[in-house]
Amino acid sequence: MTSDSNASSDPRRVLVLFAHPSIDRSEVNAELLAASLDREGVTVVDLYAEYPDYQIDIDLEQQRLRDHDVIVFMFPLYWYSTPAILKEWQDLVLEYGFAYGHDGTALQNKILLCALTAGGPEKAYHADGFNHYTIGELLRPIEQTATMCGMRFIAPFALFGARAAHEEGRVRSHVEDWVRLLDTLKHDALDTEAAARVPTLNALIEGARSGDAT
């Protein structure tokens, strides 16, 4: 899981933009959010809590983007897309002249990834599955947004079958893998080329965990 070059001596700064419209009903995202808080080098913004009226502070959010190296969209997959506030955030914050277009170079070479949960099982997200498309295909609008902004889009960190995850005892290991991924991102120890090629980051993280155990 290491990067092609030696890990940076200066830790990367990670910004987690969390979007869940009913956090009190969350079965997994609330735990991912809690695991992300109060971690050195990680800034967490709960968009629904900070902007309950959807009046997003564009200048503040743009400065947050400037101040961080890795941007994470953390959300439950709603109707094959993000919750509404995250789309509103993109529409308002990623302005011409800031994120793209003439002089719009503020996000060049920053990493963007999605940490998401999906209610359906992984087998449902295939051409011949119930949802007909892979997670990667459903995230193409975000991937193209990253490309437009000169960012490096990597595979998502995903939990499938989220509704049954607690009953099946999968949440704890998923949260632990998320923390491991955060640390890997902070220390620039992720092979971003490999991370852009795999369907999800989970296999890379699980492989590293297995390697540590041997």
d(CA 208, CA 213): 9
Given a cut of 90, whether residue 26 has pLDDT beyond it is no
User: For the residues 38-51, what does the mean pLDDT come to?
Assistant: 96
How many domains does the chain divide into? 1
Structural domain contains residue 1: no
What is the model's pLDDT at position 214? 38
What value does the mean pLDDT of the chain take?
Answer: 90
The CATH number covering residue 20 comes to 3.40.50.360
Q: Encoding tokens for residue 209?
A: 């965990």
Residue 179 falls inside a structural domain: yes
Q: Would 7 be classed as within a structural domain?
A: no
**pLDDT value at position 209?**
60
Q: Is residue 22 part of a domain?
A: yes
Residue numbers of the domain that contains 72: 14-213
- pLDDT tens string 69-117: 999 999 999 999 999 999 999 999 999 999 999 999 999 999 999 999 9
Q: Is residue 4 part of a domain?
A: no
The residue with tokens 């933009």 is: 17
Residue 2 belongs to some domain of the structure: no
Evaluate whether residue 3 is within a structural domain.
Answer: no
Asked if residue 8 belongs to a domain, the reply is no
Query: Which among 152, 193, 157 is positioned nearest to 176, based on CA atoms?
Result: 157
> 211 pLDDT exceeds 70?
no
Structure tokens at 29: 């995202």
